[in-house]
Amino acid sequence: DHAPIVIGNNAQIEDNCTVHSGMPMAIGDNVHIGHNVVVHCSRIGNTTLIGNHATISEYAEVGDFCVVAAGALVTPGMKIPERTFVVGVPAKVKGEVSEDRIAITKQSVDIYVKMSKAYKEQGL
């Protein structure tokens, strides 16, 4: 890659993702990035869920506590505000992320953190 990529605490990046950047990139704490996602943006905020097969394009920024739906295309330079749900090709704002949805994202992160600790204890 051509610039630093900083990945926060407890972030999960699922199978077959591409994380590539021509500019500095920051992926926040407690982020869950689903399978086959392309991440080519400058920022993904804390406690954010990126659904399977989504694409986050160049210079885009995703705020804290957001949900990017599976298959969504976040276009170059798009700025997604905090607590926003986006969906579609191209991605459009569909609403605000509820406290329940944020709790589900946190639970998902916790499951993977526990799994990683269990694997480490088993020497895997």
pLDDT in tens, the chain (124 residues): 689 999 999 999 999 999 998 899 999 999 999 999 999 999 999 999 999 999 999 999 999 999 999 999 999 999 999 999 999 999 999 999 999 999 999 999 999 999 989 999 998 8
What pLDDT score was predicted for residue 1?
Answer: 66
Fold of 5-121: UDP N-Acetylglucosamine Acyltransferase; domain 1 (2.160.10)
**Which residue's structure tokens are 């605490």?**
9
What pLDDT score was predicted for residue 119?
Answer: 92
Strand pairing partners for 29? Answer: none
What pLDDT score was predicted for residue 21?
Answer: 84
In one letter, which amino acid is 79? Answer: K
Task: Identify the helix (H) or strand (E) that includes residue 100.
Answer: helix 99-121
The tokens describing 64, both together, are: 């804290």
Sequence-separated contacts (24+) of 94-98 with Cβ below 8 Å: 94/69, 97/65, 97/66, 97/67
